[in-house]
């Protein structure tokens, strides 16, 4: 059995977190409460926030996501990406988890737990098909995962999302239920909407992060860029996260509080899904000897979902007041607090990781 390491206080990641990072669950609960309060106090707020959209996603939510992702992508050392692309094992495990295990698990949970609620069931299956390309970046960073690996895996998910989302939607909503003698649903997905989501929520912040690093290092040097610039822009990611949560709850808080039992029914399979995908990926990564950093990245990229795409598809196909749209909305409202909790679980696990596999950020393990 490998001997675990006990980190000395000066190396304890939890204690080295900033004040904002350390109490993130408190700020998230406060952001949720603020969003609910705003939605209740300002009756016309939802209409105002929904008046302008990007790819059928509210403009304020889109801005929050872009603010959240840019600082993390600016931290990536793009000259190290080739070491990740040569790690065929990590990429293969990620593809299997994201495009085989994840959709299949969500399909099974939706049918097992929501057999009498077809609209919510369809919405959950759509959530399972939308693999994460945005918020996972920040969860991975907070948990001290491998930034470069996360960037490559998210880019890989983006390509597969454009190619496979419609195919898997047809398979899990129409073909497979028909084979099993279950109710079927024929849904047409627009590949252009999916591609637009990828460009907006990954392409733009990725390009901005890459250009910022290239220009910053060439003009001022790497020491200034990583020692002065990054610490200044880093907190913007968490401010963007909290802003996004406030807007989400302001937009959907009324629907959620008006239908608490429906929300609870939708939340249960989501909780099981996030827990099983994260824990399964963690066990798989550790068994494969990937090291802490890449195992953590594998787990969060497997557990997270692209809620902005799922919501946009559900609204575009079924309408803003549909049960499918409600299931899409409940997704991030459950995902955010659950994955924040898993960030802290990851940091605890890091303290007990075998010494020979404890790789730092960017390490392959």
Worst-scoring range by mean pLDDT, 16-25, 153-162, 268-277?
Answer: 16-25
| pTM, entire model | 0.81
Which pLDDT band, with edges at 50, 70 and 90, does 80 fall under? confident
Average pLDDT over residues 85-112: 94
Query: 251, 301, 271: which is closest to 94 by C-alpha?
Result: 301
Q: How confident is the model at residue 60 (pLDDT cuts 50, 70, 90)?
A: confident
Report DSSP state, residue 357. G
Distance between CA atoms of residues 90 and 193, nearest Å: 29
Residue 188's pLDDT is: 75
Look at residue 14 and tell me whether its pLDDT is greater than 90: no
Mean pLDDT value of segment 85-96: 90
pLDDT band at 9 (very low <50, low <70, confident <90, very high): very low
CB 185 within 8 A of CB 218: no
Residue with more model confidence, 177 or 45: 177
* Residue 362 clears pLDDT 70, i.e. is over it: no
What are the backbone angles phi and psi of residue 289, rounded to the nearest 5°? 70, 35
| Span 273-321, pLDDT tens digits | 999 999 999 999 989 988 899 999 999 999 988 877 787 788 777 876 6
For the residues 119-145, what does the mean pLDDT come to? 89
- pLDDT of residue 191 exceeding 80, the answer is no
Cα–Cα distance, 292 to 285 (Å, whole number): 8
Please indicate whether residue 104 or residue 135 has the higher confidence score (pLDDT): 104
> Worst-scoring range by mean pLDDT, 108-122, 169-183, 247-261?
247-261
pLDDT band at 3 (very low <50, low <70, confident <90, very high): very low
Burial 26-53 (b: 16+ CB within 10 A, else e): ebbeebbeebbebbeeeeebbeebbeee
CA distance 79 to 68: 22
Measured CA to CA, the distance from residue 335 to residue 267 in angstroms comes to: 9
Domains of the chain: 10-354 (1.20.1530.20)
Q: Model confidence at 331, in pLDDT bands (50, 70, 90)?
A: confident
Average pLDDT over residues 1-16: 45
Percent of the chain's residues with pLDDT above 70: 88
242 compared with 189, residue with greater pLDDT:
242
Chain-wide mean pLDDT for the chain? Answer: 83
* Residue 15: how many other CB atoms lie within 10 Å: 10
Residue 163: Cβ-neighbour burial (10 angstroms; 0-12, 13-18, 19+): middle
Averaged pLDDT, 216-222:
94
Q: Mean per-residue pLDDT for 119-131?
A: 93
- Average pLDDT for 219-229: 93
Pair 21, 238: CB distance under 8 Å = yes
pLDDT of 4: 41
d(C-alpha 173, C-alpha 364), whole Å: 38
Residue 355 has pLDDT above 50, yes or no: yes
Q: In DSSP terms, which residues pair with 321 in a beta bridge?
A: none
Helices 292-303 + 260-287 axis angle, to 10: 150
């Amino acid at each position: 059995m490998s001997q675990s390491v006990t980190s000395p206080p000066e190396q304890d990641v939890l204690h080295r977190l900033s004040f904002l990072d350390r109490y993130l669950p408190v700020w998230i609960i406060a952001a949720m409460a603020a969003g609910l309060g705003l939605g209740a106090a300002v009756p016309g707020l939802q209409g105002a926030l929904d008046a302008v959209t990007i790819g059928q996603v509210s403009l304020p939510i889109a801005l929050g996501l872009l603010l959240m992702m840019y600082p993390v992508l600016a931290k990536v050392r793009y000259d190290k990406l080739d070491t990740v692309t040569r790690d065929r094992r990590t990429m293969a495990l990620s593809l299997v988890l994201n495009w085989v295990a994840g959709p299949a698990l969500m399909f099974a949970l939706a049918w097992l737990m929501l057999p009498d609620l077809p609209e919510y069931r369809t919405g959950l299956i759509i959530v399972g098909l939308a693999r994460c390309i945005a918020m996972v970046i920040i969860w991975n960073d907070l948990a001290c995962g491998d930034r470069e690996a996360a960037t490559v895996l998210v880019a890989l998910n983006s390509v597969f999302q454009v190619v496979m989302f419609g195919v898997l939607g047809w398979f899990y909503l129409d073909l497979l239920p028909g084979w099993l003698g279950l109710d079927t649903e024929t849904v047409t997905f627009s590949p252009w909407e999916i591609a637009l989501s990828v460009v907006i929520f990954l392409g733009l912040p990725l390009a901005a992060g890459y250009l910022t690093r290239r220009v910053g290092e060439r003009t001022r040097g790497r020491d200034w860029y990583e020692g002065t610039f990054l610490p200044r822009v880093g907190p913007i990611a968490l401010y963007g996260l909290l802003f996004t949560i406030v807007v989400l709850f302001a937009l959907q808080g009324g629907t959620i509080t008006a239908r608490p039992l429906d929300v609870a029914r939708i939340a249960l399979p989501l909780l099981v899904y996030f827990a099983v995908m994260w824990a399964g990926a963690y066990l798989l990564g550790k068994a494969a000897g990937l090291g802490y950093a890449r195992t953590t990245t594998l787990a969060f990229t497997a557990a997270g979902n692209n809620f902005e795409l799922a919501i946009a598809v559900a609204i575009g196909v079924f309408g803003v007041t549909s049960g499918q749209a409600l299931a899409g909305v409940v997704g991030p409202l459950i995902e955010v607090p659950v994955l924040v909790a898993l960030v802290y679980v990851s940091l605890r696990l890091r303290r007990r990781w075998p010494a020979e596999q404890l790789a730092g950020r960017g390490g392959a393990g």
